[in-house]
């Protein structure tokens, strides 16, 4: 093939490749999410990447409709690629409601697609790790959602983050009292931008998109600009929603949620990580109760890495059965981008801990036996594939991020021993072959 005919290897805008040093921490996030979700009793499901177009359109917001990847398949069906995992859950729950039984708790870790312009932490193909409880309206599920997110972020190695929570009922109450009840969608959308663009621009926005009066704008901004400790906020909000049933109910729910979170003892240091934020509204139309977003303290600009909320009737478009639920979604690839930016991805390019040096060509059987012994005890072990010179193999071990090199040349083998070299400190110790597993394990534990 001539040079001109050759196809340039490249990836589509907004789509990315994951080399080992990225795929390794990415898989770690996925495994952590899976582990945390399962520990709370959520069961895995999976659904197709492609759905009938009618399943997907008109569900998230008009924006998601615009971003939908859609096409006609080979059988002339109008189809679309899922843009989140919540809509497929709604379809799934409606379709199998009879067999599933309620409440139904599921997690779903999979890729979704949105045709929007990419930025850092914002891709056209990205993975979400969702967990939801369908069929329960109790506050316990609200509490659990916050607790799961907190546990998950901690398990991913984050200490500095804030789960910001709010309640749509409170928002509705405030809007109702201000006489803006019918215009909640544009108002909430404007509110959502408060932290980013400031009160003046939000006011302008409210005036234009929601045709709000000066008094109305004032009422909304006064609410959204509230800051302080959760207890203070609860009291302030109480004042603002007083006399409005929806608002008071929402506030009470928010209070119960915070009390429950405290009882869950996820945050022994206090309430710092879970905070009421009156400006959190969420653009998605289907939320009706608790709404939440998670921001990383050291990288707020990348946006929410995990968010969600309560929806009272997600499956209403597919079934007459009422299927309320609550859940949240971890943005796996956004969190990964944040970790990259913060230098938290690590440098390892191998999942194995031990590299066995292929030292003497005629001792391959010994090396294979040693490899098998270590692996049988759960120690990930790679045997170098060729009897190249020692320096080469050690260099390889170092570059890939192995922690221990096992060296067994003719001298060591003659004494039924091997050498274990700790790559980071360059310390080497000798150990009898019979003890190799315990010694390696001790070495790895000490690192």
Partner RNA sequence: GUGGCUGUAGCUCAGCUGGUUAGAGCGCCGGAUUGUGAUUCCGGAGGUCGGGGGUUCGAGACCCCUCAGCCACCCCA
Query: Tokens 């391959």 — which residue?
Result: 364
Q: Which of 87, 219, 394, 440 binds RNA (CB under 7 A)?
A: 394
Residue 216 or residue 304: which is nearer to RNA going by CB?
Answer: 304
What the block records as the tokens of 182 is: 């019918």
- Interaction between residue 305 and RNA (CB under 7 A): yes
* Residues in region 80-119 near RNA by CB under 7 A: 84, 114-119
Is 323 within 8 Å of 134 (Cβ atoms)?
A: yes
Q: What gap in Å lies between CA 26 and CA 377, rounded to an integer?
A: 25
Residue 333 or residue 353: which is nearer to RNA going by CB?
Answer: 333
Is 236 within 8 Å of 228 (Cβ atoms)?
A: yes
Q: Which of 113, 156, 99, 109 is nearest to 131 (CA)?
A: 109
Q: Which of 18, 410, 429, 434 binds RNA (CB under 7 A)?
A: 410
The annotation status of 395 as a binding-site residue, yes or no, is no
Is 428 within 8 Å of 410 (Cβ atoms)?
A: no
Query: Tokens 């922690």 — which residue?
Result: 403
* Residues in region 201-260 near RNA by CB under 7 A: 205
Q: Which of 26, 45, 64, 141 binds RNA (CB under 7 A)?
A: 64
Q: What gap in Å lies between CA 292 and CA 149, rounded to an integer?
A: 10
- Interaction between residue 193 and RNA (CB under 7 A): yes
- Interaction between residue 29 and RNA (CB under 7 A): no
Query: Tokens 């303290």 — which residue?
Result: 297
Q: Which of 44, 58, 198, 301 binds RNA (CB under 7 A)?
A: 301
SS3 329: strand
Residue 249 or residue 360: which is nearer to RNA going by CB?
Answer: 360
Q: Which of 25, 303, 324, 325 binds RNA (CB under 7 A)?
A: 303
The annotation status of 132 as a binding-site residue, yes or no, is yes
- Interaction between residue 382 and RNA (CB under 7 A): no
Number of residues that bind RNA (CB under 7 A): 68
Residue 20 or residue 283: which is nearer to RNA going by CB?
Answer: 283
Is 66 within 8 Å of 117 (Cβ atoms)?
A: no
- Interaction between residue 306 and RNA (CB under 7 A): yes
- Interaction between residue 366 and RNA (CB under 7 A): no
The neighbour count for residue 57, using CB atoms within 10 Å, is 17
- Interaction between residue 61 and RNA (CB under 7 A): yes
Q: How far is CA 167 from the centre of its chain?
A: 22
Considering the complex, what minimum distance in angstroms separates the CB of residue 265 from RNA? 26
The annotation status of 319 as a binding-site residue, yes or no, is no
- Interaction between residue 390 and RNA (CB under 7 A): yes
- HSE (side-chain half, CA atoms, 13 Å) at 108: 26
Q: What gap in Å lies between CA 56 and CA 53, rounded to an integer?
A: 5
Residue 177 or residue 287: which is nearer to RNA going by CB?
Answer: 287
Q: What gap in Å lies between CA 2 and CA 185, rounded to an integer?
A: 57
Q: What gap in Å lies between CA 13 and CA 118, rounded to an integer?
A: 7
Is 189 within 8 Å of 178 (Cβ atoms)?
A: no
The DSSP code for 447 is -
- Interaction between residue 8 and RNA (CB under 7 A): yes
Q: What gap in Å lies between CA 53 and CA 135, rounded to an integer?
A: 26
Residue 55 or residue 187: which is nearer to RNA going by CB?
Answer: 187
- Interaction between residue 122 and RNA (CB under 7 A): yes
The DSSP code for 6 is S
- Interaction between residue 310 and RNA (CB under 7 A): no
Q: Which of 102, 419, 441, 444 binds RNA (CB under 7 A)?
A: 419
User: Binding residues for RNA, per CB under 7 A?
Assistant: 8, 10-16, 60-61, 63-64, 67, 84, 114-123, 126, 128, 189, 192-193, 196-197, 205, 282-284, 293, 301, 303-307, 329, 331, 333-335, 359, 389-391, 394-395, 397-399, 407, 409-412, 419, 421, 423-426, 428
- Residue numbers in the known binding site are 84-86, 114, 128, 132, 282, 286-287
């Amino acid at each position: 093939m001539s040079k001109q005919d050759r196809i340039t290897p490249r990836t589509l805008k907004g789509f990315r490749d994951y080399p080992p040093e990225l795929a390794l921490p990415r898989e770690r996030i996925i495994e952590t999410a899976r582990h945390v979700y399962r520990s709370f009793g959520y069961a895995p499901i999976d659904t197709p990447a492609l759905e009938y177009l009618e399943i997907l359109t008109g569900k998230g917001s008009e924006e998601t409709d615009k971003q939908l990847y859609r096409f006609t398949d080979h059988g002339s069906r109008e189809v679309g690629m899922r843009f989140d995992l919540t809509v497929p859950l709604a379809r799934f729950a409606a379709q199998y409601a009879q067999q599933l039984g309620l409440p139904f708790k599921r997690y779903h870790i999979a890729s979704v697609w949105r045709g929007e312009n990419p930025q850092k932490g914002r891709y056209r193909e990205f993975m979400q790790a969702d967990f939801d409880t369908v069929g329960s309206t109790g506050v316990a599920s609200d509490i659990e959602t916050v607790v799961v997110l907190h546990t998950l972020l901690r398990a991913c190695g984050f200490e500095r983050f804030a789960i910001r929570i709010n309640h749509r009922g409170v928002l509705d109450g405030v809007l109702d009292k201000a006489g803006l009840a019918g215009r909640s969608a544009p108002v909430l959308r404007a509110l959502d931008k408060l932290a980013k663009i400031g009160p003046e621009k939000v006011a302008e926005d409210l005036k234009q998109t929601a045709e709000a009066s000066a008094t109305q704008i004032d009422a909304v901004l006064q609410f959204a600009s509230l800051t302080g400790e959760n207890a203070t906020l609860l009291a302030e909000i109480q004042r603002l929603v007083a006399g409005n049933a929806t608002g008071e109910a929402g506030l009470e729910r928010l209070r119960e949620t915070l009390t429950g979170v405290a009882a869950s003892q996820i945050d022994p240091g206090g309430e710092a990580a879970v905070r009421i934020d009156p400006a959190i509204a969420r653009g998605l139309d289907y939320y009706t109760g608790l709404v939440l977003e998670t921001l990383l303290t050291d990288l707020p600009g990348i946006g929410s890495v995990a968010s969600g909320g309560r929806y009272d009737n997600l499956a209403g478009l597919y079934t007459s059965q009422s299927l309320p639920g609550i859940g949240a979604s971890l943005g796996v690839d956004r969190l990964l981008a944040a970790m990259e930016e913060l230098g938290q991805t690590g440098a390892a390019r191998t999942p194995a801990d031990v590299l066995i040096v292929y030292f003497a060509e005629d001792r391959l059987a010994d090396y294979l036996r040693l490899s098998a012994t270590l692996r049988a005890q759960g120690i990930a072990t790679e045997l170098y594939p060729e009897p190249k010179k020692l320096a080469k193999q050690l260099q390889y071990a170092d570059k890939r991020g192995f922690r221990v090199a096992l060296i067994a040349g003719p001298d060591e083998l003659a004494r039924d021993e091997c050498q274990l070299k700790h790559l980071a400190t360059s310390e080497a110790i000798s150990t009898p072959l019979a003890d190799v597993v315990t010694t390696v394990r001790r070495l790895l534990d000490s690192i």
